[in-house]
Structure 1
Amino acid sequence: MTREIVLDLSSYQQNLTANDYKNIGATKMIVKLTEGTDYVNPYIKQLINRSAAGGANGFAFYHFGRFHNDNQAIAEANAFIKVAKNTVNAKKNTLLILDAEITGMPTSSVITFLKEIRKAGFKTGFYTYKYLLPNFNLEKIHSYMDFFWLAAYPLGNGKRADKNPNFGYFPSTKYVDMWQYTDNLLGYRVDGSITVTDNALKFFNPESKTTVEPKKSEWKKKSGTFTLEQALELHKSPHIESDAIAKLKKGDMIKFDAMLQGPKRLWLRQPRANETYGYIVARDKYNKPLGKIN
């Protein structure tokens, strides 16, 4: 079988650039969508877009579980499913993974969570650390998971690892499809995993072709200046809910190098240091101009 490196992306990797992804050379990504019932990763689309620009061609998604009973498991599964459908347009058979690494999470509730994911038409994944496995009944969970992802770091936390893990330290546990062996792949402070079965890879490109963009909106190269006609925020990603880099006042001017007409707003992209960008709304959802473009 062909072994491939897979990256695990969350808000901690927001600063990785397309060139970083190219340098790492991985083509499969697992992106964190949600945690509990009220957290949504604000960098989802940034992580997808930058990794895709760096060569990624397959995506799966995960939820960090916080539940301790079946009712909470159902609520969290539904929150995860909603974001998967609405934010990344996940189609049937897309792989949705439960990240189970808190204490006191019952096996019965893990199964309840995975059942909800399957009922919604998705493939199910289960992730945990080797040292946490005794907390779960893997044999019972096995029937409800399509994919098993296990973490064990032979070099320890934070130690730089390359793309060739020492399989002498492989966590010899039944059903493992992918081994997460480092949290600092090639010094990029990104979790790195390696596939160990053919089963692992097929779920990153399901037959239904998971669409990671809800719309076919594309950035268009265009340079210019934008002078604000009211106070606005410069965002970390082109989404109105994303964190602000800066709060700008009326009369401030920024330089931009591209524009994007989204489903609701016109966005401008400001080049910043280290191949990063800031994003600002030039027209609101009512098509009202918020400044002057030159």
Structure 2
Amino acid sequence: MTSFPLVADISSYQPDEPAFFQALKNQGVKAVIVKITQGSADGDAYINPKAKAQITNARAAGLLVHGYHYARFNGRQDAINEAKWFYQNATALGLGKESVLAVDAEDDALAHYATADVNAFLQYLIDQKHLNVDVYSMASWFWEKRLIQPELIAKNDWVANYGKSQPGVPNVGTWQFTNSFSVFGIGIDMSYDFHGYYTDPKIGYADGQLAIQVEQAPTQKIEIPVPDSWVDELGDTWHKEKGSFLLGMPLHLRWGARTDSAIIAMLPAGVIVSYDAWSRHGGFVWLRQPRANHQYGYVACRNARTNQAFGTFA
């Protein structure tokens, strides 16, 4: 199996004691990304109450430390206000220019097409001469063009996609592949850092000087065993199962397993959909269709309440 450096992301839900960070270190983790803030000074005004101890104890364990902000902005000025709140508190907690400052863009409060707002947030950090920036989101946000990858200021791109053998988004630098990495008796988020953006201090910018430029995602195939069932980034439980479904009526094929997910196509009755997993949530049973470039389409095959199928299983 191809091996890449590990980076954990943590918030107030995780411990802040030294033993936790030593356990991370002992399991090969190289860096942590600590949640610092959420919202803005005139909004949520949230600061992670454990951030100071988490940063201190992570560094004491020999881990590199970075920070992230959970975004709630909607609009350019709102994004800038949240960036100010984040930067003010991140620097006060001792995160210098060698640390990556990332924005977590996944909340429903954000504009549906959020690229411009995310860039306004990142640009504020860059204007403060903090050049190590990044954006985190779910793979589905890239598939649905809620975030347009080539237009983002951040060029590393940290993407969440669970239960897969690939990130599902091309040319990403960091892949959050699980939310149940076992350490210290608990399950936490864990990512592969393909180019060392978070785990190698020689990558990116230090004191405003470019060290090593991140170029492109690895070309090696990453083999991760896919479990028989898993919980995805939206909290839905999926079960591995291969099969074929013959549509008995026209159905939408979507980029996500939600009725408001972007539509790929309207499939006519009589089409056969090959699937590799299913999930029961949101009033429907959903099938996952493997597509090109490690992406997936999703179709509702059954009413979850009445169990009425919208076709037949081959």
Equivalence for 2:311: none
- CA gap of 1:152–1:66, structure 2 versus 1, over 3 A, is same
Alignment deviations for residues 91-117 of structure 1 (CA, whole Å, 9 cap, x no partner): 335311010001343221111111101
Contact 1:8 1:31 in 2 (8 A): yes
Equivalence for 2:116: 108
Question: How far, CA to CA, are the matches of 1:204 and 1:73 in structure 2?
Answer: 30
Equivalent pairs, count: 192
Equivalence for 1:183: 179
Equivalent residues in 2 for 1:184-199 (5 A)?
A: 184-186=180-182, 188-199=186-197
- Gap runs ≥5 in structure 1: 155-167, 210-294
Equivalent residues in 2 for 1:1-294 (5 A)?
A: 3-14=4-15, 17-18=18-19, 19-37=22-40, 38-56=45-63, 58-88=64-94, 90-103=95-108, 104-105=110-111, 106-122=114-130, 123-133=132-142, 134=144, 135-141=146-152, 144-154=153-163, 169-186=165-182, 188-202=186-200, 207-208=206-207
Question: How far, CA to CA, are the matches of 1:25 and 1:48 in structure 2?
Answer: 18
> What stretches of structure 1 move > 6 A for 4+ residues in a row?
none
Contact 1:13 1:47 in 2 (8 A): no
Query: What residue identity is the alignment partner of 1:137?
Result: I
- Gap runs ≥5 in structure 2: 209-314
Alignment deviations for residues 23-80 of structure 1 (CA, whole Å, 9 cap, x no partner): 4331211111000110000101211233233331x11110000001111101000000
- CA gap of 1:207–1:107, structure 2 versus 1, over 3 A, is closer
Contact 1:95 1:125 in 2 (8 A): yes
Question: How far, CA to CA, are the matches of 1:28 and 1:62 in structure 2?
Answer: 13
Equivalence for 1:223: none
Question: How far, CA to CA, are the matches of 1:7 and 1:204 in structure 2?
Answer: 19
Contact 2:134 2:158 in 1 (8 A): yes
- CA gap of 1:198–1:31, structure 2 versus 1, over 3 A, is closer
Shift of 1:178: 0.7
SS at match of 2:137: strand
Question: How far, CA to CA, are the matches of 1:12 and 1:204 in structure 2?
Answer: 30
TM-score normalised by structure 1 residue count: 0.59
Contact 2:66 2:198 in 1 (8 A): no
Shift of 1:208: 3.6
Question: How far, CA to CA, are the matches of 1:54 and 1:12 in structure 2?
Answer: 19
SS at match of 1:185: strand
- Specify which structure has the bigger relative contact order, considering alpha-carbon pairs within 8 angstroms and separated by 6 or more residues: 1
- CA gap of 1:21–1:54, structure 2 versus 1, over 3 A, is farther
Alignment deviations for residues 126-173 of structure 1 (CA, whole Å, 9 cap, x no partner): 1001122222222211xx11421000111xxxxxxxxxxxxx621232
RMSD across aligned C-alpha pairs, in angstroms?
2.4
- CA gap of 1:11–1:61, structure 2 versus 1, over 3 A, is same
Question: How far, CA to CA, are the matches of 2:93 and 2:31 in structure 1?
Answer: 19
Question: How far, CA to CA, are the matches of 1:175 and 1:93 in structure 2?
Answer: 23
Alignment deviations for residues 168-210 of structure 1 (CA, whole Å, 9 cap, x no partner): 621232330011011111252211111122445446875349x
Question: How far, CA to CA, are the matches of 1:81 and 1:2 in structure 2?
Answer: 33
Equivalence for 1:247: none
- CA gap of 1:51–1:204, structure 2 versus 1, over 3 A, is farther
Question: How far, CA to CA, are the matches of 2:56 and 2:97 in structure 1?
Answer: 21
Equivalence for 1:266: none
Contact 1:7 1:192 in 2 (8 A): yes
Identity rate, percent: 27
TM-score normalised by structure 2 residue count: 0.56
